[in-house]
Amino acid sequence: MTNTVIFDLDGTLLNTLDDLADSVNYALALYELPARQISEVRQFVGNGVEKLIERAVAGRLPKDKEKECLAAFKQHYRENMNNKTCPYDGIMALVKQLLSMNYHIAIVSNKFDAAVKELNNTYFEGLFPVAIGESEGIAKKPAPDSVFEALKQLQVSKECAVYIGDSDVDVLTAHNAGLECVGVTWGFRDRELLVSVGAEYIIDKPMDLLSILDRRNAD
């Protein structure tokens, strides 16, 4: 029986793209690098903030300066992560419906851990009892470690869980953890990519997840 839903954060629960792009461009400007377009930042996200800045810098800074640029990005983002960010339409209704149906829910993200926990508290008022981000002790997605940690904290088995995300990284994460993946089309990647990397299900609206869960539990 499926009784657990693990969500990606950026591009799945929250539209964080504008705030991420603003912080990227703030950090780039400090080093007199050209700003990146939203469409570029959309493609850069998904593998954690170190990879985000590495892709934005594109080899135009020595490694020590790139680390400084990353630190500047993190500081700016901590102070500005709530300027334009918001849940996608229908997400709050879905989360509350899942809780009313006694589903276990969690967030697993490659965003740094402090930001993940703050965003959970700010936008979801702590409705997610488990929210895990990037930290030194847990390998980033697509490694399955953060998913396994979420399952451990929820005290459920992987056989009871499904993973929800918007990117190829999310599909790989789910499969590396032995879970099926529900890809969402409202996020940072398109349907064609999700199909190509093997998402078992694809949904266009948050509440569409409920019918998938019903089908899984009817089998």
Beta bridge partners of 131: 107
96 and 50 in a common domain: no
Q: Is the pLDDT of residue 135 over 80?
A: yes
Q: Is the pLDDT of residue 57 over 90?
A: yes
Residue % of the chain over a pLDDT of 70: 100
91 and 55 in a common domain: no
User: Which of the listed residues 59, 80, 101 is the one where a domain comes to its end?
Assistant: 80
167 and 126 in a common domain: yes
Q: Is 8 a catalytic residue?
A: yes
Give the residue from 53, 12, 59, 61 showing the smallest Cα distance to 36. 53
208 and 140 in a common domain: yes
Average pLDDT for 27-37: 97
Beta bridge partners of 164: 7, 182
144 and 179 in a common domain: yes
Average pLDDT, the chain: 96
Q: Which of 8, 10, 166, 170 is catalytic?
A: 8
Which pLDDT belongs to residue 48? 87
List CB contacts of 136: < 8 A, sequence separation 6 or more.
none
Which pLDDT belongs to residue 29? 98
Which pLDDT belongs to residue 103? 98
CATH number at residue 45: 1.10.150.240
pTM of the entire structure? 0.93
9 and 23 in a common domain: no
Which pLDDT belongs to residue 155? 97
CATH number at residue 110: 3.40.50.1000
List CB contacts of 66: < 8 A, sequence separation 6 or more.
53, 54, 57
73 and 118 in a common domain: no
Q: 126: pLDDT confidence band, cut at 50, 70 and 90? A: confident
21 and 10 in a common domain: no
144 and 53 in a common domain: no
117 and 33 in a common domain: no
| Rg, the chain, Cα only | 17
| Angle subtended at Cα 199 by Cα 189 and Cα 205, rounded to the nearest 5 degrees | 60
User: Which of the listed residues 80, 111, 135 is the one where a domain comes to its end?
Assistant: 80
126 and 68 in a common domain: no
Which pLDDT belongs to residue 219? 75
Domain count across the chain = 2
pLDDT in tens, 62-120: 999 999 999 999 999 999 999 999 999 999 999 999 999 999 999 999 998 999 999 99
121 and 211 in a common domain: yes
pLDDT in tens, 173-190: 999 999 999 999 999 999
Residue 183 structural domain: 4-15+85-218
How far apart, in whole angstroms, are the C-alpha atoms of residue 182 and residue 114? 26
Which pLDDT belongs to residue 78? 93
Cis omega before residue 142 (within 30°)? yes
